[in-house]
Structure 1
């Protein structure tokens, strides 16, 4: 039997960091601040800090595991190797389902900013098909395009901050807001929503087969991307709260546009809208590639249909997995309102990192880069944030997990297992 084709190692540290930034900044800056303010008011600053701490715990676990297992699949592979087939499957299933919902949400976000009224769904479908095609033509093109998008979005965000710092007419309702006005439950809920914005560093860990010197590059790229994103989020959170105040921020559908208008830079509002569309596009681009690689790894292990494991012989990309993903996302885009999918995606991603932290906890001293207490904190932090998510997201997420478990149980009963680890 011919061995499965491996993916080409083409990406360096700059490429990996760019892809991680492209996954994180799009969701966080343009989607998470308003609902986080609705949950916690000015306490979203504390929520951001909590989300950053949990994200650092998760990033340290992912980096430590990626150094020992430099292959595609991320925590799906780590969970299988360290904890067994079932935890690995739950991690992989949570990632694929949650991030598929995120793909649809990002496509609709892009269309909301980039299309005329009434054309949102056709434009969103076009965006999915176009970016899936980019991935199919090779990951180096994905990395190059993501670098361009990240650079443009950072330029737009700089305009937002400068307009707030230099403009007039800023509305500051309360110079010393009460951070605990909505209580710790609200703060934790805002942390769960803002954590969704940090989750893009998982995209780097899924690219173990495509990164040069993965044992060094992946840990470095994850921590660099996370640190840079936290700084950007911190500056922007302070900016939007100072300019708009918690109540106006919570009610805003386009808070960064409102900031430049309040600062007297109305001419920059179209630029911010273009930046929002580009950020959503960058997140969608990275998500499609990451889900394709995890689906490839799961198909190789028999947890998804085997035809998804096909790698293009010349371009060396998981073609069937990415084509199937594009079809599913297009169906979701045209048939479902996915604004609530942010909570559903957060549910899946947080469970994914529960498995990552637990797997890192079991690593031998020779592979340990961080203290075990950090992994324990990561597990507890993820579970605490899951507990504060809206109940509909928790119920839907739990239901989808049950469906995945049922599928695997049936599959195991219908075939002879390949090895003892399959069970």
Structure 2
């Protein structure tokens, strides 16, 4: 049961009383399959290929880093959903812990994710459909007819989401089962049909382009993106029957399964690739539909057809679920006060945030028409996910300190997990390269400007209380400066690996400041107001 405040607080759009209209009917099986469908989309079809092309066999290091980071952040999400179950929590927990400045900036980042995640899946569907519809592709991007088809897919799957979470869960149970079987078959059949360890030597060794290429691939190759959706059970914890039991089970089952699956798929792309294709190195491989093309080269033409069909089906399943989950992102951002209060309205008949879903699909259509390329959309998305993960890493330690350790899921491991996931998030953000940081950081600072505009009329101690969380702006500026000076697309003034070591050290210091800032914020709220007067002090209990 969730404690609800009586009225809206500082910089809050509305009372979260709309949460009571959400349908709480998701059990472990439904949450597991929803989370699996959220994770296994276009990433499994394309990320192992882009990682191999970028880093060669060192791609296994890329997946290891992405897996460890994902595991830590998954533990943080589980603990937060265990203590404070709520839909859209990935936006609301950072504000609850660190105040409206952090909530607004992170809400903006998550809103950018919500508007772009659907387009990444719909473009992947259309890209793979080019096998039968060649007119949808122009070069490496979608043609204009292809982009219009991707927009039509967004609209279709949004319509299905409008009929409620129970119908969505039933449809997804069938979809997710198929999505489990095909990737597993891919690993088994392709490794059995061709396994050549000499590919490592032919391609230039274990790390032909250096370790930095493997680090860049963590974000640029879409690896972080491939794990996005692992927080689906936690984000929808406000609609779970028993979140303290169902969210941990669902998240851990999917986490373990996807790590094994992605490592297997990367092994396929490294060891099953015909040796003759590596004459120009890993950078030189060029496969339009990577896994299907590889199956054909290995003499499995029948399975190539299956993969091409699943390449349309699998991202379609993720698109179906992703539209619903990302609708909760926007719902949470509206609850934080970043977006208009109208977007917090929950449809009374079907128990869904309908307006939030429709806004995401409308903006997603613009993204598809503007870019039309999976890699461009997916790699930019990874930066925003990384930032929201960093904020959640702080939230889990701050909110964990507000209750006895035994009341949480992580117990005594809350601080180590939060600290570790924050530092790794900082490194992943830095490794995304200056090319992406120079675009992403200014866009994220728009969230800070939105916060300033909303807080402008507030003065005195009330305003100073809302000013906590400045560490996040400093964190973004630090990443920007070091990216300019470092070796990941920067000027190289700070040589590798000293640039990464410096980012790790400064990220550790930023976490300490953020944690202390959050604790001071909690104390000031407790001293200044009663829980009934401030929704940020409301606590959720199972």
When normalised by structure 1's length, the TM-score is 0.92
Are the equivalent residues in 2 in contact too, given 1:71–1:207 (CA < 8 A)?
Answer: yes
Query: Is 1:125 matched up with 2:160?
Result: no
Matches of 2:240 and 2:48 in 1, distance apart? Answer: 32
Alignment of 1:91-110 (within 5 A): 91-110=106-125
Q: Are the counterparts in 2 of residues 9 and 210 from structure 1 also a CA contact under 8 Å?
A: yes
SS for the counterpart of 1:180 is coil
Asked if 1:161 is matched to 2:192, the reply is no
Alignment correspondent of 2:139: none
Corresponding residue for residue 199 of structure 2: 174
- Change in Cα spacing, 1:172 to 1:258, as seen in structure 2 (3 Å) is farther
Instruction: Give the aligned partner of residue 409 of structure 2.
Output: 369
Checking the alignment, whether the CA contact within 8 Å between 1:344 and 1:394 is kept in structure 2 is: no
Task: Identify which range, 2-11 or 87-96, moves more after superposition.
Answer: 2-11
The aligned counterpart of 1:68 is 83
Relative to 1, partners in 2 of residues 1:165 and 1:184: Cα closer, same or farther, differing over 3 Å? closer
- What is the CA distance between 1:105 and its match in structure 2? 1.6
Correspondence 1:242 to 2:261: no
| 2:260 aligns with one of 231, 241, 266 | 231
Query: Could you report, residue by residue, the CA deviation over 1:208-254 in whole angstroms, capped at 9, with x for unpaired residues?
Result: 21111012211221111111111111111112211116728953232
Q: 1:301 to 1:46 in 2, by over 3 A?
A: closer
Q: Is the 8 A contact 1:68 1:367 kept in 2?
A: yes
> For residue 314 of structure 1, what is the aligned residue in structure 2?
349
Judge conservation of contact 1:153–1:276 (CA < 8 Å) in 2. Answer: no
Tell me the CA shift for residue 172 of structure 1.
Answer: 5.4
On the 8 A contact 2:105/2:445 being kept in 1, the answer is no
* Deviation at residue 270 of structure 1 after TM alignment: 1.9
Unaligned 5+ residue runs, structure 2? 1-6, 8-14, 137-144, 276-280, 468-542
Q: Does 1:187 find its partner at 2:187?
A: no
Please give the residue correspondences for 1:211-230 in structure 2 after superposition, counting only pairs within 5 Å: 211-230=240-259
**Rounded Cα–Cα distance in structure 2 between residues aligned with 1:337 and 1:239:** 28
1:162, CA displacement in angstroms?
3.5
Residue 327 (structure 1) aligns with: 362
The 1:143/1:195 distance shift into structure 2, 3 A limit, reads same
What does residue 264 of structure 1 align with? 299
Cα 1:139–1:250 shift into 2, 3 Å: farther
Which of 88-97 and 135-144 deviates more?
A: 88-97
Structure with greater Cα Rg: 2
CA RMSD in angstroms comes to 2.4
Total equivalences in the alignment:
421
CA distance in 1, matches of 2:435, 2:385: 16
Residues 382 and 301 (structure 1 numbering): CA distance in 2 closer, same or farther, change over 3 Å? Answer: closer
- For 2:173, the equivalent position in structure 1 comes to 147
Mapped partners of 1:389, 1:141: distance in 2: 38
Q: Counterpart of 1:353?
A: 389
3-state SS of paired residue (2:236)? coil
Does residue 8 of structure 1 match 2:23? yes
Q: Structure 1 pair 126/416, CA: closer, same or farther in 2 (3 Å)?
A: farther
1: CA distance, partners of 2:45 / 2:348: 38
Q: Flag the 1:238–1:347 CA change in 2: closer, same or farther, 3 A.
A: same
Deviations 1:26-80 (A, max 9, x none): 1321121222123211100111111100100100111011101101112212112
3-state DSSP of counterpart to 1:237: helix
d(CA) in 2 for partners of 1:387, 1:373? 21
After superposition, the Cα gap between the structure-2 partners of 1:43 and 1:407, relative to the gap in structure 1 and judged at 3 Å, is: same
